[in-house]
Structure 1
């Protein structure tokens, strides 16, 4: 069939977890709903903590705010639809809505990756170039970098949608996933997918490999710089300031790298295992990140303790 908008598909059907027995639909929807609720509460709490404590108005925490906002938006983009599938047996999504969801999935994924790049840049300057840190990473600089991340990410995701939307979809309308993404949609097109897979590859290189390369470089530089510190206590203190970001970055990148490498060395997964793995590495970090901020970031932990102490201490008359 020639290319062009000759689609006869008007809606798509999300399979969710293909092997899931219907008797577990209610339990699955409840677990996903609680997961979504924990993500919203945890990240909203971090945003509230930042808003009510001026001591947190530092470059590192401004970057964390971007990650919180991205986590809330990504989970809101992906979870409500799959929850409704199992809660109300509503697995269909309209043609246009699917492409809107696809756009935000890739847009927010790119934003997330670039925000992690900013995290690594923050720690790199703080430890490797401490004398230049306050001059380079000012509040206005963080505003500009954060704004740039959210704006630059628009073009990459928009390119995927513009390329995929006009394709002819005239066969199956079943997407083997919990949400619409570029691969899941374009596999259903009645045309050669190869020319449309290359832009997705370029986006992956830009959004994942580029920031990851700098992150690896920055933490190698940090390790070299820390090894030069004579005092053991000083080494541990420097490394402790990196631990929250390093845990967050590891949660985001390690599972993705594992899945990518496994697929390239011939390790195959069943559809259920593949989808569960993708859901875990996509939606576990948004739920775990607030705990990491509050337990590992010293300033945030102290502010949280003060807030808790203020609420539990009775006021004197």
Structure 2
């Protein structure tokens, strides 16, 4: 740290501002909506985890990837939502300096893990559809565990670089986080000195690596899958093959399309108001986590059929108990 900043008092706490333009009269409805979103994320993703673990017939590579995605979504919602709900529900907007940095680490780490898991999911579908005869050999439960484990491990080093660089900066600006959770830009905007721009640039490059490198392989995989599907002469066969990769395409689009829209809008100079920008970030961060379990259940034939069968068995059991009077 240069001498210019040697006497700066270290920030001990940050204040989560949330939506700057939101009237206090709407704090309770806002907290209720965020709580319902968090509840949907909890219930949906815990259900997927428990259901796949409980159903031995579903313990296959594709559904194991779904479990990792569900764990990522569940973790992201738990890292981000309780604090902003507490801010609007109880007026508790204070977050400690290191707690804020910890939240920032998990926000960007889990986003990177999700990106690499989507790559694993695309690889699974590519091999299943493009080289189906090799699928049982190339994609096994053990291989999926190794690939998903790599998706969890690889971003750790990159995110630690981002965190330690941000921690090395002197902070002398406002301690107000204009966001619903601590992220890299919101925190480093409070830093001083010329090094701030360099740290932000390195963080953007790492973020682009974690998002765009998997996206390139994902696009190649799904384009190859679509080409194979179009070559199938039988319409019933095309529909059946397409149904096996539709959930994965939906999940990938939910993750990438809103992010690409925001990045491209910023690139061409289209600016959003602060509240709209925060809302867009919340939507593309949290909507997939809440919606993905519905896609797993109703767009994946095997999960849907297994779930319907379990519901029918449970319904018959209840009717038998009522009929026998037990």
Counterpart residue number, 2:254: 251
| Whole-angstrom distance in 2 between the partners of 1:169 and 1:237 | 57
> 1:210-240 CA deviation, whole Å, 9 max, x = no partner?
1111111111111111122111111111111
The partner residue of 2:245 within 242, 248, 252 is 242
Counterpart residue number, 2:62: 60
Query: Once the 2 structures are TM-superposed, how far is the Cα of residue 202 of structure 1 from its aligned partner?
Result: 2.2
Q: Secondary structure at the match of 2:82?
A: helix
| Whole-angstrom distance in 1 between the partners of 2:143 and 2:85 | 39
Cα distance 1:149–1:7, how it changes in 2: closer, same or farther (>3 A)? farther
The gaps in structure 2 that reach 5 residues or longer are none
Runs in 1 of length 4+ with deviation above 4 angstroms?
3-7
The partner residue of 1:42 within 36, 41, 44 is 44
Q: Secondary structure at the match of 2:106?
A: helix
The partner residue of 1:262 within 262, 265, 271 is 265
Counterpart residue number, 1:309: 312
Q: Secondary structure at the match of 1:72?
A: helix
| Whole-angstrom distance in 1 between the partners of 2:173 and 2:65 | 44
**1:216 and 2:219 are equivalent in the alignment:** yes
Further displaced range: 3-12 or 303-312: 3-12
Counterpart residue number, 1:173: 175
Counterpart residue number, 1:8: 10
Query: Once the 2 structures are TM-superposed, how far is the Cα of residue 205 of structure 1 from its aligned partner?
Result: 2.1
Further displaced range: 198-207 or 119-128: 198-207
> 1:233-285 CA deviation, whole Å, 9 max, x = no partner?
11111111111000010010000000000000010000000000000110000
Q: Are the equivalent residues in 2 in contact too, given 1:110–1:207 (CA < 8 A)?
A: yes
| Whole-angstrom distance in 1 between the partners of 2:197 and 2:28 | 39
- Taking structure 1 as the reference length, what is the TM-score of the superposition? 0.97
Query: Once the 2 structures are TM-superposed, how far is the Cα of residue 7 of structure 1 from its aligned partner?
Result: 4.7
> 1:46-99 CA deviation, whole Å, 9 max, x = no partner?
111112211101100000000000000000000000000000111111001000
**1:77 and 2:90 are equivalent in the alignment:** no
Query: Once the 2 structures are TM-superposed, how far is the Cα of residue 198 of structure 1 from its aligned partner?
Result: 2.4
> 1:293-316 CA deviation, whole Å, 9 max, x = no partner?
000101100111112112211347
Q: Are the equivalent residues in 2 in contact too, given 1:66–1:146 (CA < 8 A)?
A: yes
The partner residue of 1:202 within 173, 196, 205 is 205
The partner residue of 2:30 within 28, 31, 35 is 28
- Taking structure 2 as the reference length, what is the TM-score of the superposition? 0.94
Counterpart residue number, 2:94: 92
The gaps in structure 1 that reach 5 residues or longer are none
Counterpart residue number, 1:104: 106
| Whole-angstrom distance in 2 between the partners of 1:157 and 1:295 | 35
Query: Once the 2 structures are TM-superposed, how far is the Cα of residue 106 of structure 1 from its aligned partner?
Result: 0.8
Query: Once the 2 structures are TM-superposed, how far is the Cα of residue 175 of structure 1 from its aligned partner?
Result: 1.2
Q: Are the equivalent residues in 2 in contact too, given 1:14–1:179 (CA < 8 A)?
A: yes
Task: Give the number of aligned pairs.
Answer: 317
